[in-house]
Structure 1
Amino acid sequence: MNTIFLLLGGNLGDREATISEAKKYISLQIGNIEKESSLYQTAAWGVENQPSFLNQVIEISTLLSAQEILFQIEEIEKKLGRKRYQKWYARTIDIDILYYENEILEEEENDSKKQKDLKIPHPFLHQRRFTLVPLVEIAPYFVHPILEKTNKELLEICLDKLPVEQLVVNG
């Protein structure tokens, strides 16, 4: 079994319902969800003049390869209404592979398929509080295989100051 960490996020439609639906598909198509962070309301990063995002990090056990996971992620995003218009723009759902075990992978985008790049660990992981805060909640001592720092250490030195607020769920 391989351990992977995925970031789920979206800022259009019923964000909470879409993330919940994404997790159902992930458990059916990718693997067992072992841990999940709280939901976090976060300011948009990259293109900032858009609605706030809802984000969550989940830990998965899977037998799939990183390439197979990427294919499944893209299928799930399509099912949930994801349209690729512009990088870092508003979307119903975005699912990113943060870590795949301690692997370091880099495959270039295939223009003919409009497929995501496969870069593991995620190249912006250490620069984004909206990724690090939920990641630290469930895996504070997981070590980034390139930067050789724990997620907790990466959060402590992260320069991103955009707000990341834990969503309080009633009930």
Structure 2
Amino acid sequence: MAEAHLLLGSNLGDRLKNLEKARDYLSKYVGTLKGVSQVFITQPWGFECQDMFYNQAVLIDTEYFPKELLLKLKNIEILMGRIKPRKDSYASRIIDIDIIFYEDFVIKHAPELVVPHPKMTERRFVLEPLSQLSPHKKHPLHKKTSKELLAECEDKNFVIRL
């Protein structure tokens, strides 16, 4: 079994229900949920939109290797009705599930699989829930904890606990 930190996000429909449904699918198809952060209300990052996101960090034990895990996560997104925008653009979504950490692996199979998530240190909406869930988890490249990375994050977008 491997430990993976994921970030869930939703800004369409019943966002709390979407996060709950995603957690249910993760338990059913991916592995054992070991922990979840609180839900945070966050501003869209990288695009203009009226609908705020709900984000939540999740810790799972999984038997899947990273590429298999990514496929499982993408299948859950499709199952929940996610429609991918054109390449390299951000858009509203019913659900988004990203791999933030997979054990202490460093994986660079760009563009589809890069772990740790390449933009996590720039995004308060990732670091707030991650720091709550696993404050002492060290980034394998930066050699800093999620709590330390949050303290250094320059992202000024708001992140509020629900």
Question: How many corresponding residue pairs?
Answer: 160
Residue of structure 2 in register with 1:10 after alignment: 10
Moved over 4 A (4+): none
Report the Cα offset of residue 50 of structure 1: 3.6
Report the Cα offset of residue 134 of structure 1: 0.5
Is 1:102–1:145's contact at 8 Å kept on the other side of the alignment? yes
Residue of structure 1 in register with 2:107 after alignment: 105
Residue of structure 2 in register with 1:113 after alignment: none
Matches of 1:18 and 1:42, distance apart in 2: 15
- Normalising by the residue count of structure 2, what TM-score does the alignment of the two structures yield? 0.96
1:103 partner letter: F
Q: Secondary structure of the residue that 1:45 maps to in structure 2?
A: coil
Q: Secondary structure of the residue that 1:98 maps to in structure 2?
A: strand
1:64 partner letter: Y
2:29 partner letter: Q
Is 1:143–1:150's contact at 8 Å kept on the other side of the alignment? yes
Identity fraction in percent: 39
Q: Secondary structure of the residue that 1:47 maps to in structure 2?
A: coil
Matched, 1:60 2:60: yes
Residue of structure 2 in register with 1:89 after alignment: 91
Residue of structure 2 in register with 1:126 after alignment: 121
- Normalising by the residue count of structure 1, what TM-score does the alignment of the two structures yield? 0.91
2:101 partner letter: Y
Q: What is the aligned-residue RMSD (CA, Å)? A: 0.9
Deviations 1:10-61 (A, max 9, x none): 1011111111111111111110000000000001111133410000000001
